[in-house]
Structure 1
Amino acid sequence: MAELNMIDTMGYGIHDMFARQARRYLPMPDYDLGESGAVRLTIYGGVVDPAYSRLLIQQTDLPLADVLALDRVQKQLPIPDEAITRLKRAGLIEGRKPRFYVSASVAKATASKADYIRTRAQDDEFYAKLVIDYLHQFGQANRAEIDKLLIDKLSDALTPEQKQRKIGNLLTKLRRRERILNTGSRGKPEWKLAE
């Protein structure tokens, strides 16, 4: 880089390069000083999806920093807190840290509407109807069968643990409303429709 006059070796050229790359959310190189007399440098490839970024720039009037941050969000990569604040205020991202996803307006501009809908939660009545229909059709179901029924229909924004909790909460709500009952044990439930 010094031979190509890309950086200043006498002053703060490397420091300036790092600062500029950090501000622009570009990947930072890693230095390994483990061997004496040698520095091993790892430079990562581009992380920006050019098609996604180009589409965002053409469809919106967003600054480049926001476009790059949104590119990281759609790749499920972390973004700085100040970018989170800015994008949330502008209504460009939804979700909670660390699992953000692009908002409906960004999904519409980038033709990723189906991906957006998969991250949105449906209302509990949708999931409850699936469970009730299953029990009406087959008479009973254990937790593994209900999990298999619902897991892939829950929001992609949820972690596997959050999906398990959501299903447990849904079953509890249905039981408290006396729509289903557990005829098995607490450890091995067998769910049936309430009479």
Structure 2
Amino acid sequence: MALDKVQRRKPLSNQEEKELRRKKLIEGRKPNYFISLHVAQKAGDKAGYTKNKAFDNQYYRDLILKVLSQHSTMSRKDIDQLLWNKLPEWMTDEQRKSKVNNLITELKNHNKIVNKGSFKYSMWELVS
């Protein structure tokens, strides 16, 4: 019953959450729980699990760098379009925007990319 709540994205009580975690049936952080890998494999929802689990930040950073090496410049809108549907389904639009912003900031702070446009109309390029 509680596992059904997770799949329907309904809130869990603290007791239900503890029990499902103890049995290793769910993953994620409150309130964004999703079924565990083991359950997803048994239920035949491997793709759904991967969409919820997401990838690590390095995957997203590498993707941005790869596309920049192919196209030389990208606007923030281009980067959003690239990553938006690759981010976890449970994220809200605001969370996705923040995640993309954090990824861009990390790349900028590590001198991988530079903004050649303005603040409002950014054009990101690889650092030469």
Same fold at TM > 0.5: yes
Unaligned runs of 5+ in 2: none
Q: Distance in 2 between matches of 1:144 and 1:103?
A: 33
SS at 2:41's partner residue?
A: helix
Q: Please tell me the residue identity of whatever aligns with 1:96.
A: R
**Does residue 70 of structure 1 match 2:3?**
yes
In structure 2, the residue matched to 1:33 is none
1:157-168 pair list within 5 angstroms: 157-168=90-101
Bigger drift between 139-148 and 73-82 goes to: 73-82
Q: Which residue number in structure 2 is paired with residue 91 of structure 1?
A: 24
What is the SS of the residue equivalent to 1:188? coil
Amino acid of the structure 2 residue aligned with 1:112? D
Tell me, yes or no, if structure 1 residue 80 matches structure 2 residue 13: yes
Contact 1:95 1:157 (C-alpha < 8 Å) held by counterparts: no
- 1:193 alignment partner in structure 2: 126
Q: In structure 2, the residue corresponding to 1:170 is in which secondary structure?
A: helix
Q: Please give the root-mean-square deviation of Cα atoms over the aligned residues, in Å.
A: 1.2
> Equivalent residue of 1:152, what SS?
helix
Unaligned runs of 5+ in 1: 1-67
Q: State the partner residue of 1:178.
A: 111
- For 1:93-172, list aligned pairs within 5 A: 93-172=26-105
Shift of 1:121: 2.1
Q: Which has the higher helix share?
A: 2
Q: Which amino acid aligns with 1:138?
A: H
Encode CA deviations 1:6-32: one digit per residue, 9 max, x unaligned: xxxxxxxxxxxxxxxxxxxxxxxxxxx
Letter in 1 for 2:74: A
| C-alpha distance in 1 between matches for 2:80 and 2:34 | 24
Partner Cα separation in structure 2 for residue 99 and residue 132 of structure 1: 29
Residue by residue over 1:69-114, the C-alpha shift from the partner in whole angstroms, topping out at 9 and shown as x without a partner, is 1111111112222101111122111112221111111111211111
| Bigger relative CO (Cα 8 Å, ≥ 6 apart) | 2
Give me the whole-angstrom Cα distance separating, in 2, the residues matched to 1:126 and 1:134: 12
2 CA distance for matches of 1:113 and 1:121? 12
CA contact (8 A) 1:180 1:191 kept: yes
CA–CA distance in 1 between the matches of 2:126 and 2:73?
8
Once residues 150 and 70 of structure 1 are traced to their aligned partners in structure 2, the CA distance between those partners, rounded to angstroms, is 29
